[in-house]
Chain A
Amino acid sequence: MSDLRELYQQVILDHNKNPRNFHELAHPTRTVDGYNPLCGDHYTIFVEMDGETIKDIGFTGNGCAISKASASVMSSTLKGKTTQEAHQLFDVFHKLVTGEPSSLSTAELGRLAAFSGVSEFPARVKCASLPWHTLNSAIEGDKEVVSTE
């Protein structure tokens, strides 16, 4: 059970139950769908840009606790960040969930640290990273649908 508690940390359970920014945006600059065909996770992510800054993010859809909490934490973390900062955080997050060493401390990771247990569950890495991949293509503006497969 100890690994399970690491995976399902309180922050994740909380964001799963009460996801933040869980709604459409009225005036999105970009809207992108993200799918994980293996488990049927499906989210739509809405981004409103102000130049290079992410002014607002919202999301709808459904999936497992890990993916939903990830979308929720991501949306509250990235609001107000520049695209460059978003890319850096994506990189940090990716390292965290795949178990690659990162130079950031838990304090620096902030809420993202809640996903540190994911790396022990290879089958769940895709769940955690789906919202980030989806957002990434929303700000890059290259795709309308993202799939983990």
Chain B
Amino acid sequence: MSAATETQAGPSSRIVDLLDVERVRRDFPILHRTVRENRKLVYLDNAATTQKPQQVIDRIVRYYTEENSNVHRGVHYLSEVATAAYENARTTVKRFIGARDEKEIVFTRGTTEAINLVAQTWGRKNVGAGDEVLITAIEHHSNIVPWQMLCDEKGARLRVAPVNDAGEVLIDEFQKLLTSRTKLVAFGHASNALGTINPIRKMITLAHAASAVVLIDGAQGVPHLRVDVRELDCDFYAFSSHKIYGPTGVGVLYGKEAILDAMPPWQGGGDMILSVSFEKTTYNALPYKFEAGTPNIAGVIGMATAIDYMDSIGIERIAAHEQNLLHYATKRLLEIDGLRIIGTAAEKACVISFVLEGVHPHDIGTILDEQGIAIRTGHHCAQPLMMRFNVPATGRASFAMYNTRDEADALVAGLEKVIEVFR
């Protein structure tokens, strides 16, 4: 299995037995509903968001039924219970990504907010006129626009490392773009549009050799790969709960303690302060300095439950199952006349972007939807990448731990129907 990428190697990699997909499916109630005209749901839009297991749903219900209270402020019983659950979630996240300390885990609204936080605090303090921020050609808009905004404000320059025709970052070019002007380097762990898994360990080492700070957009990393931020040695790592079977509206910014500590706060308000007078405010310690206002408590607790759920299955087992599906679905899709896969990197997450000759992706999406098959069509928040591959849009099937070979077959049958309509 090619899931054994550099980020998965290490002490935890071992031969694993197969994931029991039928058992996993039983945990996800939505997978058993029908859509449109009594069609069985085939959900292949997991790169956009994953479905939630009953365990996560139940935990959120339990929080609101039995524990709801504000955190870090009450002396009463419920506030203690809610605060404990909220802070335990931080420990769960810390363990999940191998951080050294809870202080390094900042809860945000998601990946987008985490990246904006870094751009607006670390970025505004450390990036100046003439400096450069380096990204790659396969970034999601949320790892492009915050840096563009920062560079515009500071008179800095955004540089973009190109990719080859397979959708892999050209490491030589990447390295050439690293200079003494490079203050920050930001790139995805895996691409949501093409599936490419970047050789992030190597890229981090190269960036550090140029004395740049590194942010990893892990939105598509944590769902599929074991992440160990200390082993990776990245300075920041951002991800979203809703792509790892947790609720929407919550995510994580990991940052090395020393770096977070030196950063100015972002939003002002409650929780992020120690004391306030009209003359002077003293900011709270990490990570609270970056968590102004009442947080998404139920969301954070739900995210931790989702992490526990993934751990109970085992990330290696999930990865192996998804790699299996990737190879099977790729092979089946290539049997279709006129179908071309965009993104053929050697290391890929289970994301397949494709175009079908003579049929626009939007029409493909509608005809598949009529059969109960949910895929994403469009530019996948990566317009510059679509231009690079000279396509206005693609269809994208993205798989998760609960998808099956039967569903890959259903996709192929659905695409054959598309061809029939357009013939």
Report A's interface with B, CB cutoff 8 A.
1, 3-5, 7-8, 13, 17, 38-42, 62-66, 68, 121, 123-124, 127
- Pairwise interchain contact A39-B393, C-beta atoms closer than 8 A: yes
Can you list 12 A-B pairs, Cβ within 8 angstroms, ordered by A?
A4-B366, A8-B363, A39-B361, A39-B377, A40-B378, A41-B392, A63-B360, A63-B362, A64-B362, A65-B422, A121-B366, A123-B366
- Pairwise interchain contact B362-A127, C-beta atoms closer than 8 A: yes
Contact residues in B for A65 (Cβ distance below 8 Å): 359-360, 363, 422
Contact residues in A for B359 (Cβ distance below 8 Å): 65
Contacts between chains A and B (CB distance < 8 A), count = 53
Q: B355: shortest Cβ distance to chain A, in Å?
A: 12
- Pairwise interchain contact A62-B366, C-beta atoms closer than 8 A: no
Report B380-423 CB contacts with A as 1/0, cut-off 8 Å.
Answer: 00010010000011000000000000000000000001000110
Contact residues in A for B378 (Cβ distance below 8 Å): 38-40
- Pairwise interchain contact A124-B386, C-beta atoms closer than 8 A: no
- Pairwise interchain contact A4-B370, C-beta atoms closer than 8 A: yes
Contact residues in B for A38 (Cβ distance below 8 Å): 378
User: CA A1 – CA B361 in complex, angstroms?
Assistant: 18
Known: A8-B367, A66-B363. 7 other contacts (CB 8 A): A4-B370, A4-B421, A39-B360, A65-B363, A65-B422, A121-B366, A124-B362
Q: B289: shortest Cβ distance to chain A, in Å?
A: 36
User: CA A64 – CA B359 in complex, angstroms?
Assistant: 7
Closest 10 CB pairs of A and B: A64-B362, A64-B360, A40-B393, A39-B362, A40-B392, A65-B363, A64-B363, A40-B379, A8-B421, A39-B378
- Pairwise interchain contact B422-A13, C-beta atoms closer than 8 A: yes
- Pairwise interchain contact A40-B367, C-beta atoms closer than 8 A: no
Query: Which single member of A17, A42, A124 contacts B392 (CB below 8 Å)?
Result: A42
Report B's interface with A, CB cutoff 8 A.
358-363, 366-367, 370, 377-379, 383, 386, 392-393, 417, 421-422
Q: B362: shortest Cβ distance to chain A, in Å?
A: 4
Residue of B359, B366, B393 most packed against chain A (CB within 10 A): B366
User: CA A66 – CA B421 in complex, angstroms?
Assistant: 13
In the complex formed, the residue of A with least CB distance to B370 is A4
User: CA A63 – CA B392 in complex, angstroms?
Assistant: 8
Contact (A3, B393) CB under 8 Å given A8-B421, A63-B360: no
Query: Which single member of A1, A7, A17 contacts B366 (CB below 8 Å)?
Result: A7
User: CA A121 – CA B366 in complex, angstroms?
Assistant: 8
In the complex formed, the residue of A with least CB distance to B364 is A64
User: CA A143 – CA B67 in complex, angstroms?
Assistant: 54
Q: A146: shortest Cβ distance to chain B, in Å?
A: 17
Contact residues in B for A13 (Cβ distance below 8 Å): 421-422
Q: B161: shortest Cβ distance to chain A, in Å?
A: 24
Q: A36: shortest Cβ distance to chain B, in Å?
A: 9
